[in-house]
Amino acid sequence: MPSKRFKLSDKAHLPFKTANKQRRQELHIKQKQARDARKRAERFARKKDEAKDPRLREQRLAKNVPHTLDSKRRWDEVDDEPADGGLGRAYNVEAVKRRKLAEEQALDEVPAKSAEQRPIPKILITTSINSSLHEPARTLTTLFPNSTYIRRSAHRYGYKFSVREISSYASKAGYTAVIVLEETLKKPSGLTIVHLPTGPTFHFSISNWYEARSIPGHGRPTPHTPELVLNNFSTPLGVLTAHLFRSLFPPSPDLEGRQVVTFHNQRDFIFVRRFRYVIRDKRASEKAVVGADGRVMAGGEQVRAGLQELGPRLTLKLRRVDKHIQRASGQEWEWKGKTDRVRTKFQL
């Protein structure tokens, strides 16, 4: 008759399971020590082999690439650009354009280049009705060049202008866009951007809003027009969103200001940052700047460049794109965000 003290178990971490708690702890410690000793021996053996042959380390590092949601991203397969614009499709616009350009070059067709000059943006910034976000709204006027903030607060019996009426007035006054800052519990929670004169309207949610005074080591912005950096906008909806952000900044930045505004898209979250390039002398304890080939760059032996954040810092997420201004088409939208059922599929 088998003993009741030791019970065999294939599902347990230990090779067998005992009813004695102290005995289980001792077995677990011994098993952990044996596992750590085996890993340590493997690590030292691998280090010894790689010291003899450096190619083994290169091969190991080439294979040791972690899998992320970005690396496992799924795209919709399309042969050509959809006639409706494809806002609901998550396919790579650049890949389709490259394939189409290769076909045109094979047929000796030269694609036509558009020489259309973008107009100088003029932006009207306001808030939701009776909002208390006057200071964050004024901060947005420093982020977007050539913008004006107009308070939307009024007397309790005063007329409350809608976004459609404000957009109509702004269009007649020569504005190219209207930005409405929304609040929840006296904090910025949303951003509505209306492209004038007829739309579309973009609705973003805001998270992680930080004023400049909350950022350690922040700088003070200057009136110079910043450079614009747009990263990872690959799908048709992403390209449309990137065009919206591009229309909010003048086409010619003031390079002497050394300021840059970045809209970085990662997993459908748009990170907004503003920096200034800081050029200073190299300290004695710092290394010189090297190029891609590993050699010291000529002229940069005694110079170092860094970034100083100016603020504000916020994160946007696109929720809806309306065809016109504030659902003027009977609550008909071009795109509406849905619950992400597939974690490896992104819309921007």
Least confident of 6-20, 40-54, 169-183, 274-288: 6-20
Residue 89 lies in a domain: no
> Do the Cβ atoms of 344 and 74 come closer than 8 Å?
yes
Number of domains in the chain: 2
**Same domain (yes/no): 40, 174:** no
> Do the Cβ atoms of 297 and 305 come closer than 8 Å?
no
**Same domain (yes/no): 149, 249:** yes
Last residue of a domain, one of 44, 67, 83: 44
Residue 197 lies in a domain: yes
pLDDT over 50 (residue 40): yes
Write down the pLDDT at residue 110: 44
pLDDT band at 285 (very low <50, low <70, confident <90, very high): confident
Bridge partners, 7 (sequence order): 17
**Same domain (yes/no): 23, 143:** no
Residue 85 lies in a domain: no
> Do the Cβ atoms of 219 and 276 come closer than 8 Å?
yes
Choice between 202 and 108, residue whose per-residue pLDDT is larger: 202
**Same domain (yes/no): 146, 275:** yes
pLDDT over 80 (residue 79): no
The DSSP secondary structure of 201-244, one letter per residue, reads EEEEEEEEEE-GGGSTT-----SSPPEEEEE---SHHHHHHHHH
Which CATH number goes with the domain that contains 221? 3.40.50.10480
Residue 203 lies in a domain: yes
pLDDT over 50 (residue 9): no
Q: Is 319 helix (H, G, I), strand (E, B) or coil?
A: strand
pLDDT over 70 (residue 201): yes
Domain of residue 253, residue span:
123-283+300-336
pLDDT over 80 (residue 137): yes
Compute the distance between CA of residue 232 and CA of residue 108 in angstroms, rounded to an integer.
31
pLDDT band at 139 (very low <50, low <70, confident <90, very high): very high
**Same domain (yes/no): 163, 30:** no
Choice between 48 and 293, residue whose per-residue pLDDT is larger: 48
Residue 61 lies in a domain: no
Residue 168 lies in a domain: yes
Q: What distance lies between CA 113 and its chain's CA centroid?
A: 29
Write down the pLDDT at residue 158: 78
Q: Give the mean pLDDT of 135-149.
A: 93
pLDDT over 50 (residue 279): yes
Whether the predicted model's global pTM rises above the 0.75 cut: yes
Cα 339 to Cα 194, 203, 345: the distances in Å are 24, 16, 11
**Same domain (yes/no): 33, 135:** no
Residue 18 lies in a domain: yes
pLDDT band at 293 (very low <50, low <70, confident <90, very high): confident
pLDDT more than 70, % of the chain? 84
Q: What is the mean pLDDT of the chain?
A: 83
Write down the pLDDT at residue 115: 44
**Same domain (yes/no): 34, 151:** no
Write down the pLDDT at residue 17: 72
**Same domain (yes/no): 30, 127:** no
pLDDT over 90 (residue 141): yes
Q: Give the mean pLDDT of 267-281.
A: 91
Q: Give the mean pLDDT of 240-267.
A: 92
**Same domain (yes/no): 28, 136:** no
**Same domain (yes/no): 139, 260:** yes
**Same domain (yes/no): 134, 32:** no
Write down the pLDDT at residue 344: 81
Residue 158 lies in a domain: yes
**Same domain (yes/no): 38, 127:** no
pLDDT over 60 (residue 307): yes
Write down the pLDDT at residue 302: 80
The DSSP secondary structure of 97-120, one letter per residue, reads HHHHHHHHHHTT-PPPPP-PPPPP
